[in-house]
Chains A and B, each alone.
Chain A
Amino acid sequence: MRIWAQVGKQTMGAPATVGHVCAAAMAGVNVDGAGVTIMAGSTARDVLHASDRVAADLEEWQLTYGQGPCVDAFTRGGPVIAPDLRSSESLSRWPVFSPAALDSGARAVFALPLQIGAIRLGVLDLYRARPGAMSSYELADALAFADATAMMVIDDAAGLQPDTSELAWQRDDPTAHQVQVHQATGMIIAQLGASAEIAFARLRAYAYAHDRRLGDVARDVVERRLRFEPDSLRESMEQDEV
């Protein structure tokens, strides 16, 4: 809730974009810049947003050199925190990226994967011009901003452009992390023969379209009352006791 309220402050009523989420993250977790890179597979990459020159450079260096916190966060599926790029640990871990990033003006980098289980979309990179780890509160919020960015990318892929104010409650749907949501995503993968990204996007799109909670729709899928059909955009709802 808090996270979307912070994003809302940035949008001034306009439809929310990844740029707004980055701006909110910069204010919220006390970093100097933010960038988002979308990765399809292990090679194709697309810089979706960079808040400033340094953030753009960071994305550029990782793309060029194929190393850096963002690359590791994506391949490992977990956050990668580099509190001081000048440390021997960072310099030995990313021998080409670290000096380049320092030259550009970044000192600490926090790379947070945009992911939901096996769905790997890309990475949110946050940087500070000064060294230092995040506090546990800052890290918690940074992870929440990464979740918000991931949802935004997924919704964008599904062709959903929700207005933040009206749909904020759905974005903050507390049922969104229930195990059934992930199980349902898996079932829809098999039903559609589609990727996890598409399956999850379809599940969310259905919940939006029917003004229902994600967890409730997921339960219908898991209990085999609702299935998704590959050939049309319609889902077939088995009817209960008409």
Chain B
Amino acid sequence: MSERQLAEAFVELADTLVDDFDLMDFLHQVTVRCARVLGVAAAGVLLTDQRGALRVAAASTEQTRLLELLQLQTDEGPCPECFHSGRAVAVADLSAAAERWPRFVTQARESGFASVHALPMRLRSDVIGALNLFGGQPGALDERTIQLGQALADVATIGLLQARAIRHHETLAEQLQTALNSRIIIEQAKGVIAERRQVDMDEAFELLRHTARRNNRQLSELARSIVDGSETRWLGEPAPTAYARAPIPLHRSDGGVG
């Protein structure tokens, strides 16, 4: 990663800290920048639900496998460990951590990841979440890359505070809950789009994001209008029913795996 790329990443992120701030889009941007600038395969942000568990807030790609891997850390994995200790967790080689987090390691390796890092999102004495970085090759990130990752984790935290500053009455607890609920709205909207347009979930997210950008709308606000039915223009006709496609539902193997 070059100094220039890095500077650009921070400038681009700072650019989004404006009036019409969209926290969900911002967190997505942070994870995308992480993957690019830190040279990792994928990145995700998990936030505390304040009931002792972490929930998915954003991911660099919306592939279901990555979201599942992130949400698995409600139970086990480097992020809960990082969240509870407040310290970075580095696993240079996932295959050596199978006993520590059996389910997480199995699923991460199946998804093609070989190493994982978790960096705390810290606000004064509180830890509010964790930034999760996945590498395709075994190996620990060097000290400098970890510092940059931590800087990006801090930027994600600033984003939460920024949203809070704009809605200036809110406490951080209120803001975290609102963010997690926005994430649910986005998942619901992805489902509507996936069904209406007959696309998969990552394509649905791209469509949602693209449309929000093109029309200069907030991601979560557009998602809400898709779910409540007030936004239908670009969604197309409802998909044909299963009966219309095949009178006798047959689902024979097409040779694909799973």
Contacts and interface: CB of A to CB of B under 8 A. Distances in A.
A140 interface: yes
Contacts of B177: 78-79, 143
A115 B188 CA distance: 13
Q: 3 closest A-B pairs (Cβ-Cβ)?
A: A186-B191, A117-B184, A78-B178
How many residues of A sit at the interface, in one of the four size bands?
A: 35 or more
B2 interface: no
Interface of B: 49-52, 55-56, 64, 67-68, 71, 74-75, 167, 169-171, 173-175, 177-178, 181-182, 184-185, 187-196, 201, 223-224, 227-229, 238-239, 241-243, 249-253
A117 B227 contact: yes
Contact of A190 (B56, B64, B238): B238
A193 B227 contact: no
B50 to A, nearest CB: 5
A79 B170 CA distance: 9
The prevalent SS among residues of B at the interface is: helix
Contacts of B182: 77
Nearest to B184: A117
B242 A227 contact: yes
Contacts of A161: none
Given A117-B188, A222-B201, 11 more contacts: A76-B178, A77-B182, A78-B174, A79-B177, A80-B169, A118-B224, A139-B173, A140-B51, A182-B188, A191-B195, A241-B253
A81 B175 CA distance: 11
Contacts of A115: 181
Given A118-B224, A139-B50, A179-B67, A225 B251 contact: yes
Nearest to B201: A183
Given A78-B181, A140-B51, A183-B190, A189 B251 contact: no
Contacts of A139: 50, 173
18 contacts: A76-B167, A77-B182, A78-B181, A136-B173, A139-B50, A179-B64, A182-B187, A182-B188, A186-B193, A189-B191, A189-B227, A191-B195, A222-B194, A222-B201, A227-B241, A236-B249, A238-B251, A239-B249
A141 to B, nearest CB: 8
Given A117-B185, A227-B241, A236-B242, A140 B191 contact: no
Interface of A: 76-81, 89, 93, 113, 115-118, 136, 139-140, 143-144, 174, 177-180, 182-191, 193, 195-196, 222, 225, 227, 229, 236-241
Contacts of B51: 140, 143-144
A78 B175 contact: yes
A238 B249 contact: yes
A83 to B, nearest CB: 9
A144 B53 CA distance: 12
